[in-house]
């Protein structure tokens, strides 16, 4: 039975406990401050009329799912494909699993805040040496030790070593969540790009089908004129060459389209053999997408958020390394029963207990702690450099997409004029040939020029659509850093 009288040993114990409580909350390591970056006041390539605006869908905002940026294109087929990615894409599922791993590590780090309690039992038969010095001849040589015990150990977070570890794990989990959003954004953007490339190929296919039909009629006309002595055999050969060359180009488009269709199938989690999309030629130009203000980009890109959260984690690990210079304090206790039989457990003399603090300080380690601290600070500097590089690349991607849209828009206007002129030239050449004042070579040249200009126009329209998708991706796809999880583990 414990005595109420204070002893010097117990007084020292309670004094050390008081010191532990007083010292608790003393944090070491640098306080986190987000590294400064200076965004430009405006995008260089943005049209002046669009500066400061934001892109939205034409639908009411309340009816639009958050982040469903692809709805700005008003294409039901694209909406259906994009809607399948979140639940079926395997790359996204892998990214989500990585986030769950990171969140579980937060729970693991937080467990250090709580006492570690253990229990055990043992039955140990043994025998003493008969020649053991000072052994009583009357004492039995053999014995069995019956032991049941429990113990508890608790590390007060005096120097915030545990707190810094939890902070680092929490920031890593938030970075993993942002990485998941980056993967999600990239997959949705890839699906949209592939879809518009597919529709561009459908437009190419329609154009080539029409050209093959027109060239077949031209060949019939030339063959009829040759039969009547009004055209030479060379004219017939030229008409046949033009027809078969265009037909070969028409067939080649099918290969490209099938490959793009297979890529879309993988994105939506479908087997390529069981997936198909109806032909739907691309005709409408892309919607206007104002980029907003450059300062908003820092909060709208998940990769920037992930890079910033990794700085937080690196900064916290600097604190963990600094805590290694301070004593490690543990509060421990143990209690149980031990005797030569189980029945001895119920006798007062079989009980034992111990409780008290313990402290340990590394006096010399050959520079290991210093090396670990330098490594942590270098990792922090690396994270800062990575963050600033990510910001620079983000602005680069936005400017690249803006200049592509601006230049391709001007190029589309010029190409449209070239297509109109080529069609007029083809009509004149065909009429001249029918009137007998031109050879079929003139018609062939006009056909080639017209088809080339028309295919160029389709290609530019496809590039404008994909540039619009890439601009939305570069702007973050409607994501915002405020949607990041807290980093605390779920239930």
- Dump pLDDT digits (tens) for 296-307: 899 999 999 999
Please give the CATH architecture assigned to the domain spanning 1-30+115-156+327-360: Single Sheet (2.20)
CA dist., res. 234 & res. 241, Å (int): 10
pLDDT value of position 489: 63
Sign for the pseudo-dihedral over CA of 476, 477, 480, 486: negative
**Per-residue pLDDT at 83:** 94
The predicted pLDDT at position 346 comes to: 79
Q: Do 454 and 207 meet the contact criterion of CB atoms below 8 Å apart?
A: yes
Indicate if the alpha-carbon torsion angle 59, 63, 66, 68 is positive or negative: negative
Task: Quick: pLDDT tens for 179-192.
Answer: 999 999 999 999 99
Predicted pLDDT at 385: 97
**pLDDT(134) > 60:** yes
Give the confidence band of 141 by pLDDT, cuts at 50, 70, 90.
Answer: confident
Mean pLDDT score of the chain: 87
What per-residue confidence (pLDDT) applies to 61? 36
Per-residue pLDDT at 145 exceeds 90: no
Total Cβ atoms within 10 A of residue 367? 9
Q: Is the pLDDT of residue 132 over 80?
A: no
Dihedral sign computed on CA atoms, order 126, 129, 134, 137 = positive
Supply the pLDDT for residue 487. Answer: 63
Per-residue pLDDT for 51 more than 50?
no
Per-residue pLDDT band at 340 (split at 50, 70, 90): confident
Predicted confidence band of residue 351 (pLDDT cuts 50, 70, 90): confident
Q: What average pLDDT does the segment 388-406 reach?
A: 95
**Residues 222, 242 contacting (CB under 8 angstroms):** no
Q: What is the pLDDT of residues 422-432, one digit of tens each?
A: 999 999 998 98
Q: Check pLDDT > 50 for residue 370.
A: yes
Length of the chain: 491
pLDDT at 176 over 50: yes
Q: Rounded to two decimals, what is the model's pTM?
A: 0.86
CA 246/CA 110 separation, integer angstroms: 68
Percent of the chain with pLDDT over 90: 65
CA–CA separation, 478 and 143 (whole Å)? 75
Direct distance between the N- and C-terminal alpha carbons of the chain, in angstroms, rounded to an integer: 42
Which residue would you say has higher pLDDT here, 309 or 490? Answer: 309
> Looking at domain 33-113+159-325+368-483, which CATH architecture does it have?
Up-down Bundle (1.20)
What pLDDT, on the 0 to 100 scale, is given for residue 289? 87
More confident of the two residues 419 and 229: 419
Query: Residue 56: which pLDDT band, with cuts at 50, 70 and 90?
Result: very low
Q: Residue 273 CB: number of other CB atoms within 10 A?
A: 8
Over range 388-398, report the average pLDDT.
Answer: 96
Instruction: With cut-offs at 50, 70 and 90, classify the pLDDT of residue 343.
Output: confident
Rounded to the nearest angstrom, the gap between the alpha carbon of residue 340 and the centroid of all alpha carbons in its chain is 62
Listed in order, the ranges of the chain carrying CATH 1.20.1600.10 are 33-113+159-325+368-483
Under the banding of pLDDT at 50, 70 and 90, the label for residue 407 is very high
Residue 478 makes CB contacts below 8 A (sequence gap 6+) with: 66, 67, 68, 69, 300, 472
Residue bearing the bigger pLDDT, 156 or 349: 156
pLDDT for 490: 55
CATH 2.20.200.10-classified regions of the chain? 1-30+115-156+327-360
How confident is the model at residue 210, as a pLDDT?
94
Indicate whether 108 pLDDT > 50. Answer: yes
Q: In the structure, what pLDDT confidence band is assigned to residue 144 with cuts at 50, 70 and 90?
A: confident
pLDDT of residue 136: 74
The predicted structure's pLDDT at residue 439: 84
| 3-class secondary structure per residue, the chain | CCCCCCCHHHHHHHHHHHHHHHHCCCCCCCCCCCCCCCCCCCCCCCCHHHCCCCCCCCCCHHHCCCCCHHHHHCCHHHHHHHHHHHHHCHHHHHHHHHHHHHHHHHHHHHHHHCCEEEEEEEEEEEECCCCCCCCCCCCCCEEEEEEEEEEEEECCCCCCHHHHHHHHHHHHHHHHHHHHHHHHHHHHHHHHHHHHHHHHHHHHHHHHHHHHHHHHHHHHHHHHHHHCCCCCHHHHHHHHHHHHHHHHHHHHHHHHHHHHHHHHHHHCCCCHHHCCCCCCCCCCCCCCCCCCCHHHHHHHCHHHHHHHHHHHHHHHHHHHHHHCCCCEEEEEEEEEEEECCHHHHHCHHHEEEEEEEEEECCCCCCCHHHHHHHHHHHHHHHHHHHHHHHHHHHHHHHHHHHHHHHHHHHHHHHHHHHHHHHHHHHHHHHHHHHCCCCCHHHHHHHHHHHHHHHHHHHHHHHHHHHHHHHHHHHCCCCCCHHHCCCCCCCC
pLDDT tens by residue, 253-270: 999 999 999 999 999 999
**213-222, 227-236, 315-324 — which is least confidently predicted?**
227-236
The per-residue pLDDT for 424 is 95
| Rounded mean pLDDT, 2-14 | 48
What is the structure's pLDDT at 65? 36
pLDDT band at 140; cut points 50, 70, 90: confident
Say whether pLDDT at 418 is over 50.
Answer: yes
Give per-residue pLDDT as tens, 423-456. 999 999 989 888 888 888 898 999 999 999 999 9
d(CA 316, CA 164): 5
Backbone angles phi, psi at 76, to 5 degrees: -65, -35
């Amino acid at each position: 039975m414990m005595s109420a009288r204070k002893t010097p040993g117990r007084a020292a114990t309670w004094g050390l406990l008081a010191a532990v409580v007083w010292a608790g909350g003393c944090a070491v390591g640098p306080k986190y401050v987000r590294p400064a970056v200076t965004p430009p006041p405006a995008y260089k390539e943005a049209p002046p009329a669009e500066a400061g605006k934001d892109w939205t869908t034409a639908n009411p905002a309340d009816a639009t799912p958050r982040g469903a940026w692809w709805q700005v294109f008003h294409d039901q087929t694209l909406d259906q494909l994009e809607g399948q990615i979140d639940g079926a894409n395997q790359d996204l599922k892998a990214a989500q699993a990585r986030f769950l791993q990171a969140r579980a590590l937060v729970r693991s780090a937080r467990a250090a805040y709580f006492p570690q309690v253990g229990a055990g039992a043992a039955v140990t038969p043994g025998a003493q040496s008969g020649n053991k010095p000072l052994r009583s001849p009357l004492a039995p040589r053999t014995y069995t030790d019956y032991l049941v015990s429990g113990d508890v150990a608790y590390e007060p977070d005096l120097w915030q070593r545990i707190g810094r570890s939890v902070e680092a794990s929490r920031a890593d989990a938030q970075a993993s969540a942002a990485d998941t959003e980056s993967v999600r954004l990239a997959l949705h953007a890839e699906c949209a790009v592939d879809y518009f490339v597919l529709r561009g190929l459908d437009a190419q296919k329609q154009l080539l089908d029409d050209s093959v039909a027109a060239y077949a009629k031209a060949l019939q006309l030339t063959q009829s004129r040759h039969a009547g002595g009004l055209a030479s055999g060379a004219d017939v050969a030229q008409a046949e060459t033009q027809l078969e060359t265009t037909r070969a180009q028409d067939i080649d488009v099918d290969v490209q389209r099938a490959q793009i269709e297979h890529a879309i199938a993988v994105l939506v989690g479908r087997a390529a053999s069981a997936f198909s999309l109806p032909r739907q030629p691309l005709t409408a130009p892309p919607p206007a997408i104002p980029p907003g203000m450059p300062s908003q980009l820092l909060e709208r890109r998940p990769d920037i958020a992930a890079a910033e959260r990794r700085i937080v984690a690196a900064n916290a690990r600097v604190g963990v390394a600094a805590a290694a210079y301070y004593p490690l304090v543990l509060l421990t206790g143990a209690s149980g029963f031990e005797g030569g039989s189980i029945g001895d457990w119920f006798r007062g003399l079989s009980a034992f207990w111990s409780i008290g603090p313990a402290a340990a300080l590394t006096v010399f380690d050959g520079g290991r702690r210093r090396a670990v601290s330098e490594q942590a600070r270098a990792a922090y500097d690396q994270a800062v450099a990575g963050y600033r590089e990510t910001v620079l690349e983000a602005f680069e991607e936005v400017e690249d997409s803006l200049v592509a849209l601006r230049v391709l828009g001007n190029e589309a206007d010029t190409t449209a004029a070239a297509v109109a002129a080529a069609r007029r030239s083809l009509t004149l050449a065909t009429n001249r040939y029918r009137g007998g004042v031109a050879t079929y070579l003139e018609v062939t040249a006009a056909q080639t020029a017209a088809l080339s200009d028309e295919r160029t126009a389709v290609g530019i329209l496809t590039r404008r659509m994909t540039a619009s998708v890439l601009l939305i991706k570069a702007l973050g796809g409607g994501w915002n850093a405020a949607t990041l999880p807290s980093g605390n583990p779920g239930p």
